[in-house]
Structure 1
Amino acid sequence: MPAPPHDVSGHTWHHPDGVLFRITKEGPAVVVGNGYESDMPGFAAVLSDDEIRAVLAFIRSTWPERERQYQSEMSRREKEKTR
């Protein structure tokens, strides 16, 4: 499967920051597992962690306020779970 659109029509904004970071770094097939197939590779060999964070920050900046708030809340909940 191709990577989903990262605008409001896609589902990228449904995922918390940690998941988006891992998917970008490792690739969706690694993160999802269970034989999941995707055309999107991981970018660990191409981008540093800071560059991945910068790309994700740019993508988030293109979302409408409602989607940014939803994704921010998902990320907050994710962080609480890991404490």
Structure 2
Amino acid sequence: MLAVLVTGAYLGAEAAADAESGAMPNNVDIVVGQDLYAETCAACHGANLEGQENWQSPREDGRLPGPPHDETGHTWHHSDQLLFGYTKLGGREVLAAQGMEFDSGMPGFADRLTDQEIWNILGYIKSTWPERIQKMQTERTKDETRSRED
């Protein structure tokens, strides 16, 4: 598991500040994250993070099925900040901010989850990845953070 994923409490204001900086808080609760994932995410992304069948093929409505969050999917290709924003705001809003008009089907959870709960879920997801994938995703997060600072 990621060394930074330590069970513990984290103040919501600090979690929000970390979300703005692009960094996952040092103290996330992956046990709570696993429970929240089961309650909130598993219906679309699979109980074992396996995603929906044919997740890379658009359905009739143009939306893609829920992708896997395990190492077989593309979640780890994205920075912490993007994953947080996508979860909090939803796919349509995040993509629109990047100049793309597309409804991915991913709803925003800002009205149902606190920032800390979102970080806990993301921490749980990341804790399931093999170490080499965790390292690659950490580097992507660092690269994005550096490019925003430039």
User: Which TM-score applies when normalising by structure 1?
Assistant: 0.91
Relative CO higher for 1 or 2, CA cutoff 8 Å, sep ≥ 6? Answer: 1
Q: Kindly tell me the number of residue pairs found equivalent between the two proteins.
A: 83
Extract unaligned runs of 5+ from structure 1. Answer: none
Instruction: Note the alpha carbon deviations across 1:6-41, whole angstroms, 9 max, x for none.
Output: 001110000000000000001111111333122220
Q: Quick one: distance in 1 between partners of 2:94 and 2:115?
A: 16
Counterpart for residue 62 of structure 1:
128
Q: Is residue 17 from structure 1 mapped to residue 80 from structure 2 by the alignment?
A: yes
1:53 to 104, 111, 119: 119
Partners of 1:16 and 1:71 within 8 A in 2: yes
Instruction: Note the alpha carbon deviations across 1:50-80, whole angstroms, 9 max, x for none.
Output: 1111100000001111110100000111111
Q: Is residue 5 from structure 1 mapped to residue 71 from structure 2 by the alignment?
A: no
- Report sequence identity in percent: 47
Q: Which has the larger helix fraction?
A: 1
Q: Quick one: distance in 1 between partners of 2:113 and 2:65?
A: 20
Larger Rg: 2
| Letter aligned with residue 89 of structure 2 | E
Partners of 1:3 and 1:38 within 8 A in 2: no
Q: Quick one: distance in 2 between partners of 1:35 and 1:3?
A: 19
Runs of 4+ in 1 over 4 A off after TM superposition: none
Q: RMSD between aligned alpha carbons?
A: 1.1
| Letter aligned with residue 138 of structure 2 | S
Q: Is residue 32 from structure 1 mapped to residue 98 from structure 2 by the alignment?
A: no
Extract unaligned runs of 5+ from structure 2. Answer: 1-63
Q: Quick one: distance in 1 between partners of 2:138 and 2:82?
A: 12
User: Which TM-score applies when normalising by structure 2?
Assistant: 0.53
